[in-house]
Amino acid sequence: MQDFRSQICVFLDSALTEDLRHAGRNTTGLYSDPSACAIWHRRLYQAGWIAPAWPKAWGGAGWNEQQRAIFDAECIERDAPLLINAGIRSIGPLLIEMGAPLQRQRYLPPILSGDELWCQGFSEPGAGSDLTAISSQGRVEGNQLILNGQKIWTTAAHLAQFMFALFRTDPQSRGGVGLTFVLLDMSTPGVSVRPIFDLRGEHEFNQVFFDEVVVNIDNCVGAINEGWRVAKRLMTLARANNSPASHTRRILRQLRQTLPHNISSTLRIRLAEIEIELEAFSALEQASAGADAAAMRASLLKIRGSELKQKACELALDVADAASEAQFSMLVRQYLGSRAASIYSGTNEIQRNLVARALVR
Tens-place pLDDT, residues 58-102: 999 999 988 988 998 899 889 999 999 999 999 999 999 999 999
CATH of domain 117-226: 2.40.110.10
The whole-number pLDDT of residue 291 equals 46
Give me the helix-helix angle, 294-318 and 227-239, nearest 10°.
40
| Rounded distance between C-alpha atoms, residue 208 and residue 42, angstroms | 28
> What are the tens digits of pLDDT across the range 137-176?
999 999 999 999 999 999 999 999 999 999 999 999 999 9
pLDDT level of residue 295 (50, 70, 90 thresholds): low
Residue (of 326, 228, 254, 245) closest to 288 by Cα position? 245
Give the CA radius of gyration of the chain: 21
Q: Does residue 337 contact residue 198 with C-beta atoms inside 8 Å?
A: yes
Q: How far is the C-alpha of 246 from the C-alpha of 309, rounded, in Å?
A: 10
Q: DSSP character for 259?
A: -
pLDDT given at position 296 = 74
Over residues 303-324, the pLDDT tens digits come to 888 889 898 888 888 887 666 7
* pLDDT > 70: percent of the chain: 95
Within a 10 A sphere around the Cβ of 162, how many other Cβ atoms? 22
| Full-model pTM | 0.85
C-alpha span between 202 and 205 (Å, rounded): 9
pLDDT at site 239: 61
Q: Please count the helices (runs of H) and the strands (runs of E) in the chain.
A: 13, 7
> Which class is domain 2-83?
mainly alpha
* Type of residue numbered 49: W
Question: Per residue in 349-361, pLDDT tens?
Answer: 877 887 787 777 6
Residue 44 makes CB contacts below 8 A (sequence gap 6+) with: 15, 50
Single-letter amino acid, residue 332: V
Length of the chain, in residues = 361
Do residues 148 and 210 touch, judged by C-beta distance below 8 A?
A: yes
With beta carbons less than 8 A apart as the criterion, state whether 215 and 189 touch. no
Helices (H), the chain: 2-15, 18-25, 34-47, 65-77, 86, 92-98, 101-113, 227-239, 245-258, 265-287, 294-318, 325-338, 348-360
Please tell me the distance from the alpha carbon of residue 217 to that of residue 192, in angstroms, as a whole number: 21
Model confidence at 292, pLDDT cuts 50, 70, 90, reads very low
Domain-by-domain residue ranges, the chain? Answer: 2-83, 117-226, 240-360
* Amino acid in the structure at residue 147: L
Q: Please state which CATH class domain 240-360 belongs to.
A: mainly alpha
Question: Sign (positive/negative) of CA torsion 147, 148, 153, 158?
Answer: positive
Does 112 score more than 80 pLDDT?
A: yes
Task: State the CB neighbour count (10 A cutoff) for residue 133.
Answer: 14
